[in-house]
Structure 1
Amino acid sequence: MLTIYHARSGGLVKAEGESAISEAVWVDLVCPSRSEELLVERHLGILVPTREEMAEIEVSSRLYQESGAHFMTATVLHRSETARPESTAITFILTEKTLVTVRYAEPRAFPIFLSRAEKGDVAAGSALAILLGLLEAIIDREADIIERLQADTDRLAHSIFYMKGGTATRTRRFDVILKQIGQAGEVASKLRDSLLSLGRLLTYLGQITAQRKDAESTREQIRMAGRDVQSLADHLGYLNSRIAFLLDASLGLVSIEQNQIIKLFSVVAVVLLPPTLVASIYGMNFRFMPELEWTYGYPLALLMMVLSAVLPFLYFRHKGWL
């Protein structure tokens, strides 16, 4: 889908028609067809990167200058509200007058920025201003995701260390908790990749604005966005450490639960061994066993079996093994 925007009175308005591309301040390509790519390439004199080229991870493939335009690709997290958040590559192509965005997903930062820009709440009078506005919206969105991730880790910590219920209930809940910890770790990993790519993009953009001698306020805005990304990355590092701690704690508690079960079976086996020995002795078919002819032989054998089971049990209780 090809959407064209023109700057009007500080805001953005949609424009229609092929001729509108040449005067556009922002051209948004969402899952573009080849004909749409060719249309943009013809009017703006650039080569739109393919989806495969956008997925390349080398810095030289993500940040470069070609035909007078600057190509910048960042990884952005989307579908974060679902059980399976995803990462997507978005390419920003900055020309002298136009910003071209190429994407194959719908991160929420884009409609959020567009809603504000159409109302004139954010600066959108130039391609660079729109690029900065989009980057700030993406950073704000990822900050919200990090805040939600922190709330999730707080809830997981409470569930792990203040868990109630019997062994069976605790085992089932640990199964769920381990999956949730894995999901939190997956989100944190994707966020780290995204913040890393955004940090590199902002560094590259800062170099561009310094070479072009853009306004100091614009360069300060870029530096501020870079500091925001760095602070988010630092906080995310703390969350990663906490998620790793919660995983270790959960596995440790699961191991303790398993050891308790194994210990119980071991104690039961030891407690039942002496009565089994007594029963085995008197179950032998020897011709000469005087106890078999004795009136109190059977009660005595039962008493020996009970005592041989109770005494080890009391010993284990005394040692604190039960």
Structure 2
Amino acid sequence: MLTLYDVAGNGLATSKDVNAITAATIWIDLLNPTPEEDAAVEQALGISVPTRAEMREIEASNRLYIENAAVYMTAYVIYAIEQAVPAASSITFIIADNRLVTVRYAEPKAFPIFLARAEKGHAPCASGPDIMVGLIESLIHRQADLIERIQDDVDRLAPSVFVIKGGQQTRGRRLDVALRTIGKEGDIIARVQESAFSIDRVLAFFASAMRERGGDSKISKRIKSAQRDISSLLDNMRFLSTRLEFLLEATLGMINIEQNQIIKLFSVAAVVFLPPTLIASIYGMNFKHMPELDWPWGYPLAIGLMVLAAVLPYVYFRRKGWL
């Protein structure tokens, strides 16, 4: 789908007719574009629109470059942050003259958020670079919201690891859930970090291109502000990653303690029942000359010895604090 945005006062006017590209058109948004729409934009602006496969290239030279005086910047973006596991996609920003062309195969909520701000006159949209900075600012704000959600999840996760309550079976289930949650949150943090680094590289390349083109100083200041925001998000994510690593190690340690407790119980049971088994084995031998067999109190004495042999190790272990 192709959408054109023209300057209209302090806001933007929308059109979906590719033939309506005029000097007032400053933003062309290609969402899941067809080959015909790509070709129409290429012919109208004299640029090359990257394909979906080209947008997935990971080399910096394929994501950030200048071709025919147009600046190409592709960012890896996290979106749908309201879902349990957010989605990710690549978005290409193309600055051609004073226009912005966006190529995307996803619908991040940051785009309608920016458009809503532009309609209210709260977002500068007099040029393509203005719109690109505004879109990146919205993407950064959405990432910040996701990081805040992850931080809340981690805060709720910590007590489930360290607070000891419930029986053995309940604690085991709780630690299993905690381990799975830590893995999920760690994967999300890793993807958000990848997205933040990608946006940071885009901003650095964008700032360099604006300096070479003699761009507006106000846009340069906004780019620097966005870079500071990304830097603070990266610092926060490094802290969250460290905290998740600590919780992972603590969870694995608690699981090991639970497993050691089970093994210890089996070991104590073996030690407790070993002496009675020895006594029973001795008196179970079929020798003719065993004087205890003729004793009137031989049987009660054997039973008493077995009980005593079982109780003494148990008492000893209790006094040592091993049980």
Q: TM-score range by the shorter chain?
A: over 0.9
Q: Does 1:175 align with 2:176?
A: yes
In structure 2, what is the equivalent of residue 194 of structure 1?
195
In structure 1, what is the equivalent of residue 28 of structure 2?
27
Moved more, 152-161 or 18-27: 18-27
Determine the C-alpha separation between the residues in 2 that align with 1:61 and 1:22: 29
Does the CA contact (< 8 Å) of 2:2 and 2:18 recur in 1?
no
In structure 1, what is the equivalent of residue 223 of structure 2?
222
Q: CA deviation at 1:157?
A: 1.2
Secondary structure (helix, strand or coil) at the match of 2:85 reads coil
Secondary structure (helix, strand or coil) at the match of 1:221 reads helix
**Paired residues for 1:34-53 under 5 Å:** 34-53=35-54
In structure 2, what is the equivalent of residue 6 of structure 1?
6
**Paired residues for 1:1-322 under 5 Å:** 1-23=1-23, 24-322=25-323
Secondary structure (helix, strand or coil) at the match of 2:287 reads coil
Taking only aligned residues, the RMSD between alpha carbons, in angstroms, comes to: 1.3
Q: CA deviation at 1:185?
A: 0.5
Moved more, 116-125 or 243-252: 116-125
TM-score of the two chains, using structure 2 as the length reference? 0.96
Q: CA deviation at 1:231?
A: 1.1
Determine the C-alpha separation between the residues in 1 that align with 2:241 and 2:115: 32
CA deviation profile, 1:268-318 (whole Å, cap 9, x unmatched): 111011111111122222222222232211111111111000101111112
Does the CA contact (< 8 Å) of 1:80 and 1:145 recur in 2?
yes
Paired residue total:
322
Does the CA contact (< 8 Å) of 2:64 and 2:74 recur in 1?
yes
- Provide closer, same or farther for how the CA distance between residues 255 and 126 of structure 1 changes in structure 2, counting only shifts above 3 A: same
TM-score of the two chains, using structure 1 as the length reference? 0.96
Does the CA contact (< 8 Å) of 2:3 and 2:17 recur in 1?
no
CA deviation profile, 1:110-164 (whole Å, cap 9, x unmatched): 1211222233221112111110100000011111111111111111112211141
Q: Structure 2 stretches of 5 or more lacking a match?
A: none
Does the CA contact (< 8 Å) of 1:22 and 1:43 recur in 2?
no
Identity %: 52
Moved more, 161-170 or 301-310: 161-170
Q: CA deviation at 1:9?
A: 1.3
CA deviation profile, 1:168-213 (whole Å, cap 9, x unmatched): 1111111110010001111110111111111111111111221222
Determine the C-alpha separation between the residues in 1 that align with 2:171 and 2:46: 63
Does the CA contact (< 8 Å) of 1:22 and 1:44 recur in 2?
no
